[in-house]
Chains A and B, each alone.
Chain A
Amino acid sequence: MQKKLKNKKALFLPIKTITVLIIVCFLVGIISSSFETKSDFASANSNRKINKDSVESVKAFMQVYKVLMSPRCMNCHPSGDVPLQGDDSHVHTMLPKRGKDGKGVYAMKCGNCHQPENLPGLHKPPGNPNWHLPPADMKMVFQGKTPRQLARQLMDPKQNGNKSKEKLLEHAHDALVIAGWNMGEGRALPPMSHEEFVKAWTTWIKKGAYAPK
């Protein structure tokens, strides 16, 4: 009986020692990790992309959506092959067709009426040197899209004109996008300023480009 007890003690002691050793190692690990340099910490964080924030991103996109669905943007992103026109987004009079490159067909090319600049007077054809619709092989339709559908489409290079996130961020400053805030007399402006739009657009993308549910 006494022999059995002695054997048990012999077994018990090493286990206790090993447990203590594990705890010590664990504590050493924690202490040593606190000696990481600041840059190590920053790079570890950026690798984890903790800038993502689905709530902020989606909130910003809902602002973006209001602008993209306003007549000044949506009228040239129609679901059909004819642009829309006016604050009520009716189908463009004369039914000009998109054409392969988005610049119209035959005698009905956009630039035949739309000059490089706006014309003075109410409801005269607005102008821009680069006036066009998206091309036939990538129509980039806004009309009829839900916020979720539009957000997903905008982030898909196969549907957004092969644009990366960086290119999308730049696109907010594209001359034809900016022209949406200068469409000539008699046309309502988008529901916020271009600066506010750029802020919302940038926040949406930089916070992770989340699509609303």
Chain B
Amino acid sequence: MITLNINQKNYEADVNPDMPLLWVLRDVIGLAGTKYGCGVAQCGACVVHLNGEAVRSCVTKVKRAEGQKVVTIEGLSEKGDHPLQKAWQEIDVPQCGYCQSGQLMSAAVLLRENPNPTDKDIDDAMAGNLCRCGTYLRIRKAIHLAADIQRRGS
């Protein structure tokens, strides 16, 4: 039995300790907001926060998360009102939307560590999140807007 703290709730999961965290989140706990993309840490669709870091849950064994704090897209904010989520809606970033939870979780780490990112900072932070619809320019624009919303504290 593995004890997990996900989005500030405790869960007990009777799973193989080597099972990828992504499988546990989606198939065992039922949090399906995090997506499966490539399964080999190449695309970023499965990014969740593990103790605040943007880990790729498809290659993170669940035993690494035992007793640690996991945050998924469902727990990024209580009411879906994280500055990034507001900006994403404002700019209407997604096209198909499949990669967007991973994009948001990566961007959230960037904004926490750098409240005023430049285009280059955004590229450095987001280079590991692929979007087959090519929404990169809207993502960059939305991150700048989110930084602005965060600065204004609204």
Contact = CB atoms under 8 A, between A and B. Distances in A.
Contacts of B129: 107
B100 to A, nearest CB: 14
Contacts of B149: none
B92 interface: no
Main secondary structure of the interface of A (DSSP, over half): loop
A35 interface: no
Interface stretch (B27-35, B40-48, B72-80, B132-140): B40-48
Interface in A85-123: 93-97, 105-109, 111-113, 115-116, 119, 121, 123
Interface string B102-114: 0001110110011
Contacts of A105: 124-125
Contacts of B107: 107
A107 B84 CA distance: 15
B124 A97 contact: yes
A95 B42 CA distance: 11
B55 A93 contact: no
B41 A125 contact: yes
Main secondary structure of the interface of B (DSSP, over half): mixed
A84 to B, nearest CB: 16
A124 interface: yes
Contacts of A121: 40
A85 to B, nearest CB: 11
Interface string B51-86: 001111001110010000000000000000000000
A107 B59 contact: no
Contact of A115 (B59, B114, B124): B59
The 5 closest A-B pairs by CB, nearest first: A107-B106, A106-B125, A107-B54, A113-B41, A94-B128
Given A106-B114, A106-B121, 14 more contacts: A106-B106, A106-B109, A107-B106, A108-B128, A109-B53, A109-B54, A112-B53, A112-B128, A113-B55, A113-B59, A115-B60, A115-B61, A123-B40, A125-B40
